[in-house]
Amino acid sequence: MNHPAPPAAVRRPFPAELLAELTASFGERVSTSEAVRSHHGRDESPFDPQLPDAVVFAHSTDDVQAIVKLCARYGVPIIPYGNGSSLEGHLLAVQGGVSIDLSEMNRVLSINAEDLTVTVEPGISRKALNEALRDTGLFFPIDPGADASIGGMSATRASGTNAVRYGTMRENVLGLTAVLADGRIIKTGSRARKSSAGYDLTRLFVGSEGTLGVITEITVRLYPQPEAVSAAICTFHSMAEAVRAVIETIQIGVPVARVEFIDSLAVRAINRHSNLTLREAPTLFFEFHGTPAGVEEQAGLVQEIAAQNGGEGFEWATRPEDRSRLWNARHSAYFAMLQLKPGCRAVTTDVCVPISRLAECVIETEQDLKASPLPCPIVGHVGDGNFHVAMLIDPDKPEELAEAERLNRRIVERALAMDGTCTGEHGVGLHKMGFLVAEHGADTVDTMRAIKHALDPQNLMNPGKIFSWGA
């Protein structure tokens, strides 16, 4: 048994006429094969897959519009699918319906290097985007662990290791094109850096997890590649010391580009997976961006702060290949951690708290984890107050799942009591739905629901995610 989905909503009928019409329009780009549906009915979460009735591979906004109009006519749900790397059950077809695969809509539509913007289709991955930008001297900094699609990252309001300096998708999406539930196409925002022209629909769609429409184009901000980059690692006697060093760094305003926490167990996992020999201790990875002099100055300040907090073995990775190895290792942490327990799946937490509460939050969490039989490595974007516990469970042991969920609840409740959030960057999906009222209050969630009802009155768009349809 894998992770059961929340109380299953009733699957809606999938009329043969709809399939016939989709096939008439899209031919071989419609699939109802078990293998394709199975691939699209899951994500990286531990939930049991729930398969869509059909998958259609879209190649344009017009394709998406045509699919949405057909589904709307038959009252059939629509689930946008990018690279399948979400972690909270976002992609499961809990009410059946059509998965719109956007992975073949992966073109760069226009690079506006002078404006530091690029417009892309949703299926392009963050790595492919940066590859396309290679000769421009610019880069796109948002980097979740997986090589996620820009559309999926927009839909989940993703971030990653660079958010402490460059912000999240919230700050970096300037505008987008979306197909609404009734098939209308809207464009939000503009390429101007700022605007006060009406409601911020861009930010409303960023983080809406496919529940308000299908995002088919995205304009994001780019940044000049820093003239100088340096990275460093530093170990500590305890997680608390490491976190305190981060808090001081943020509070004095050092514009650190990345600062990542990795606990001893996660370091072990990374060492094994990436063939490294890092010291197995609570560790911070730092990166600094700027001019050569600026980087040196930042690094000097941070080294001093680290030393004052018990940091040891401050080591520099100055060569690009050493930095790449370090950050590739960090980005593969999720998969590395899974290998700590063969055959396991991970239940991940994603709380984010005000940085003044971070030390307290991680210390109390560490105590919970020590008292648990599950292996639970911790990694964190600690500069944002965000950290992840990967609770490694045997999918055939329901008691391990129950234990993971017990820990998860405690960690979320702790974060909410500290004025934090149940999810810093993964989104709500299915897994965090139960925490939304506790975090925001019933009236606030009801306000979100009123918007959903107004824009998607048939509940077609990724139904059953974020919050329930009825109060």
- Binding to its own copies (CB under 8 A): which residues in 2-21? none
Listed ranges 14-22, 166-174, 238-246, 390-398: which one lies at the site for its own copies (CB under 8 A): 166-174
Size of the site for its own copies (CB under 8 A): 91
471 binds its own copies (CB under 8 A): no
Binding segment (CB under 8 A) for its own copies, from list 70-78, 261-269, 327-335, 437-445: 437-445
CA 265 from centroid of its chain's CA atoms: 22
Is 275 an interacting residue with respect to its own copies (CB under 8 A)?
Answer: no
d(CA 207, CA 307): 38
* Residue 354 to residues 152, 250, 251, 302, 416, Cα–Cα distance (Å): 26, 12, 12, 20, 10
State which of residues 193, 237, 272, 319 lies at the interface with its own copies (CB under 8 A): 193
Reading the block at residue 346, the tokens are: 């991970």
Residue 89 touches its own copies, criterion: CB under 8 A: no
108 sits near its own copies (criterion: CB under 8 A):
no
The Cα–Cα gap between 107 and 109 comes to: 6
The site string for its own copies over 117-156 (x = CB under 8 A, - otherwise) reads x--------------------------------------x
Q: Does 470 bind its own copies (CB under 8 A)?
A: no
Indicate whether 445 belongs to the interface with its own copies (CB under 8 A).
Answer: yes
Does the footprint of its own copies cover residue 308 (CB under 8 A)? no
CB of 344 or CB of 445, closer to its own copies: 445
Single out the segment in contact with its own copies by CB under 8 A; choices: 48-56, 263-271, 318-326, 432-440.
Answer: 432-440
Angle at 437 between CA 432 and CA 438, to 5 degrees: 85
Whole-angstrom distance, CA of residue 152 vs CA of residue 259: 24
Binding to its own copies in span 345-374, by CB under 8 A? 350, 352-356
Q: Which stretch binds its own copies (CB under 8 A): 62-70, 268-276, 320-328, 415-423?
A: 415-423
Q: Could you say whether residue 190 binds its own copies (CB under 8 A)?
A: yes
For its own copies, give the closer residue by CB, 85 or 235. 85
Structure letter (DSSP) for residue 355: G
Binding of residue 426 to its own copies (CB under 8 A): yes
* H/E stretch holding 138: strand 138-139
β-pairing, 283-290 with 228-235?
antiparallel
Element (H, E) at 278: none
Q: What is the CA radius of gyration of the chain?
A: 22
Determine phi and psi for 235, rounding to 5 degrees: -105, 160
Decide: is 223 part of the binding site for its own copies (CB under 8 A).
yes
| Binding to its own copies, residues 67-86 (CB under 8 A) | none
Q: Is 436 in the site for its own copies (CB under 8 A)?
A: yes
Residue 221: φ, ψ to 5°:
-80, 145
Name the one residue in this structure whose structure tokens are 């809406």.
208
Q: What whole-number distance in Å separates Cα of residue 281 and Cα of residue 263?
A: 6
Q: How far is the CB of 115 from its own copies (least distance, A)?
A: 4
**CA distances to 213, 345, 364, 390 from 411, in Å:** 32, 19, 9, 12
Contact window for its own copies (CB under 8 A) among 183-191, 274-282, 325-333, 371-379? 183-191
194 sits near its own copies (criterion: CB under 8 A) = yes
Query: For residues 320 and 262, what is the distance between their CA atoms, to the nearest angstrom?
Result: 21
* 19 vs 428 by CB, closer to its own copies: 428
